[in-house]
A = this chain, B = another copy of it.
Amino acid sequence: MSPTAPSPFTLAGRAARMNPSVIREILKVTERPGILSLAGGLPAPESFPIDAMREATARVLADTPREALQYAASEGFAPLREWVAAHLGRQGMTVSPGQVLITTGSQQGLDLVAKILVDAGAPVAVETPTYLGALQAFSPFEPLFHSVASDDHGPLPDAIRAVPHDAPGCRFLYVLPNFQNPTGRLMPEERRQAVVAAAQAARLPLVEDNPYGDLWFDAPPPAPLAARWPEGTIYLGSFSKVLAPGLRLGYLVAPPALYPKLLQAKQAADLHTPGFNQRVVHEVIKNGFLDQHVPTVQARYRAQRDAMAQALARHLPAGSEWQAPSGGMFFWARLPAGCNARALLPAAVEAGVAYVPGEAFYAHGGDPRTIRLSFVTLSVAEIEQAVATLGAVLRHHLQEDLQPPAP
């Protein structure tokens, strides 16, 4: 065969729908030294519990090394599933350990949910905007995305009632109620009640994603949607934000009727999540570690949130809009008229700062003036410097915009 022979492979139709992650492509650029990145959703590495991890790995490899390194059950490590059920019980959910499926990060939960629920051409409803990783996880299964109009409190109940749910039927509404990625918004109690009532009336199941719920700054969020409609909701959780993402450990909670299919999809996908990681994390958290650890993460992120709020007020040009989030990892801002976030990104990176254009988070074309800014990766001093740089880039652009064209 000559090296230029055409490839004998034929791509599946769904592969044409897979596009590179805008965020990850930007992250590659921002790995260059000297770039202050507000783009990535990377937790502060200073918050990782390294000493606890060291002790836990040593203990697991001393006490149960063979079990930790052997093949294991697809459902997950039983004591960890019990811990998850009890943890969610304290948040108002009634969960049996038998409903808990340990996943390789909560991203895998999105893949498994789509695999068992989404036929090609079936509608799937998402918030506006929504988590980019969910769009990427669902897209290979070729849904028709239906964008549900949303405000600062989340999806609008009237818009949920308007979702097409006749046969073949909208398969679910994907919703992220706590400190949403990308907007940082929190769904208040009244909206939760209204969203669940609208979804129940439409018999539209919910997929509730909650990676950030523990990262509250002022008060814990209201009870999950899953606590209000357990038989109609699949709930996704993660250890990435309260411990460390590099362990790739998440979980889902499914109604008993759905669990066997999700389990079979999990077996087919990777047999099981690494047992070593499951045992290490259980060893870290089993005696209440998170009760001490999470408040330290909250305090760190609250200070960074405050720093970004101050920096935005100080440096962003008039006409910019944002709200300070009450938890999580992200500010969502709208730049002044005349600013296109995607078009301005190269100039920003050139000046030494990166962000994610908000467009990436919409299933159907988004507001080109929006941007997502993470406040958890950089230090307070770096946040000030990064936002000052961003402000300078925007001011420079707006001034150029006002000047008459060069002769």
Is A286 part of the binding interface, using a Cβ–Cβ cutoff of 8 Å?
no
The smallest beta-carbon distance between A343 and chain B, in angstroms, is 25
Contact of A116 among B18, B40, B111, B277 (CB under 8 A): B18
Asked whether A70 lies within 8 Å of B245 as measured between CB atoms, the reply is yes
Asked whether B273 lies within 8 Å of A248 as measured between CB atoms, the reply is yes
Chain B: CB-nearest residue to A255: B7
Asked whether B117 lies within 8 Å of A267 as measured between CB atoms, the reply is no
Bound state CA distance, A11 and B18, in angstroms? 23
Contact of A274 among B20, B248, B265 (CB under 8 A): B248
Asked whether A20 lies within 8 Å of B260 as measured between CB atoms, the reply is yes
Bound state CA distance, A8 and B203, in angstroms? 6
Q: Which residues of B contact A205 (CB under 8 A)?
A: 8-9
Is A272 part of the binding interface, using a Cβ–Cβ cutoff of 8 Å?
yes
Bound state CA distance, A116 and B108, in angstroms? 17
Bound state CA distance, A20 and B261, in angstroms? 8
Q: Which residues of B contact A86 (CB under 8 A)?
A: none
Is A10 part of the binding interface, using a Cβ–Cβ cutoff of 8 Å?
yes
Interface residues on A, range: 35 or more
Bound state CA distance, A68 and B115, in angstroms? 30
Among A45-53, A181-189, A300-308, A391-399, the one that faces the other chain is A45-53
Q: Which residues of B contact A200 (CB under 8 A)?
A: 1, 8
Q: Which residues of B contact A24 (CB under 8 A)?
A: 74, 267
Interface residues of A in 105-151 (CB under 8 A from B): 105, 107-108, 111, 115-120, 122, 133, 136-137, 139-141
Bound state CA distance, A140 and B133, in angstroms? 21
Which residues of A are at the interface with B, using a C-beta cutoff of 8 A? 1, 3, 5, 7-15, 18-21, 24, 40-43, 45-46, 48, 50, 53-54, 57-58, 61-62, 65-72, 74, 103-105, 107-108, 111, 115-120, 122, 133, 136-137, 139-141, 168-169, 171-172, 200, 203-205, 229, 231-232, 240, 244-248, 255, 257-258, 260-261, 264-265, 267-277
**Additional A-B contact list (18), CB under 8 Å, known A10-B122, A12-B117, A244-B276:** A9-B255, A11-B116, A11-B261, A15-B115, A20-B260, A41-B71, A48-B69, A69-B246, A69-B247, A104-B274, A107-B269, A111-B268, A133-B268, A246-B275, A246-B276, A248-B271, A270-B270, A276-B277
